[in-house]
């Protein structure tokens, strides 16, 4: 029997005009942070919104609406990682959502595009050891990153 997972995606407000193309492509292909879901199972998007801008006021309310629509997992979009600077509230979001709503939080959606990877590598953005685990689900490999440029 197929498993169905309902998810919500929250994007960084800097990208509020984003149509979600890379996130939806990755969700359908099970690329990046969506590789945790089997291709044999269904993933249904039940909510898509921004954090509301720094310091993330919408994080207090959006997960509740998504949960009412059946969301079990919230993906914090890759934009939180690749924007410059990366979201300074990411750790707080990862703690707050499970505490208040009992939902799983996954950091990332689509693979990090190669052009962003190069820039952040050159800047040393993700040099601290804490970033290794945070970017791992979206780092993938160069070939995959290039398909998301």
- With a cut of 70, say whether residue 4 has pLDDT above it: yes
* Predicted pLDDT at 1: 67
Mean pLDDT over 56-72 rounds to 97
- Measured in residues, the chain has a length of 149
Mean pLDDT of the chain: 96
| Cβ-proximal residues to 97 (8 Å cutoff; 6+ apart), any chain | 59, 63, 74, 103, 105
Continuous segment of H or E residues that includes residue 147: helix 142-147
The pTM assigned to this predicted structure is: 0.95
Q: What is the CATH number of the domain that holds 25?
A: 3.40.50
Tally helices (H) and strands (E) across the chain: 7, 4
What pLDDT, in 10s, does the model give residues 80-121? 999 999 999 999 999 999 999 999 999 999 999 999 999 999
The whole domain housing 55 covers: 4-147
Burial of 125 (0-12, 13-18, 19+ CB in 10 A): middle
Sign of CA dihedral 34, 53, 120, 128: negative
pLDDT over 80 (residue 46):
yes
What would the mean pLDDT of 26-52 be, rounded to a whole number? Answer: 97
Residue 22 has pLDDT above 70, yes or no: yes
In the prediction, which pLDDT does 2 show?
82
Q: Which one-letter DSSP state was computed for residue 12?
A: -
Number of domains in the chain: 1
Q: How confident is the model at residue 10 (pLDDT cuts 50, 70, 90)?
A: very high
Answer whether residue 17 shows pLDDT above 80.
yes
């Amino acid at each position: 029997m197929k498993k169905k997972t309902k998810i919500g995606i929250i994007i960084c407000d800097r990208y509020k005009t984003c149509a979600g193309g890379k996130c939806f492509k990755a969700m359908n292909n099970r690329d990046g942070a969506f590789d945790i879901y089997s291709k044999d199972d269904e993933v249904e998007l039940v909510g898509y919104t921004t954090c509301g801008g720094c310091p993330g006021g919408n994080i207090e309310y959006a997960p509740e609406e998504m949960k009412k629509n059946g969301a079990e997992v919230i993906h914090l979009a890759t934009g939180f990682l690749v924007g410059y600077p990366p979201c300074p509230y990411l750790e707080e979001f990862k703690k707050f959502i499970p505490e208040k709503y009992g939902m799983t939080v996954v950091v990332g959606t689509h693979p990090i595009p190669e052009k962003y990877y190069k820039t952040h590598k050159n800047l040393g953005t993700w040099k601290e050891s804490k970033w290794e685990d945070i970017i791992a689900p979206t780092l993938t490999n160069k070939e995959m990153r290039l398909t998301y440029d």
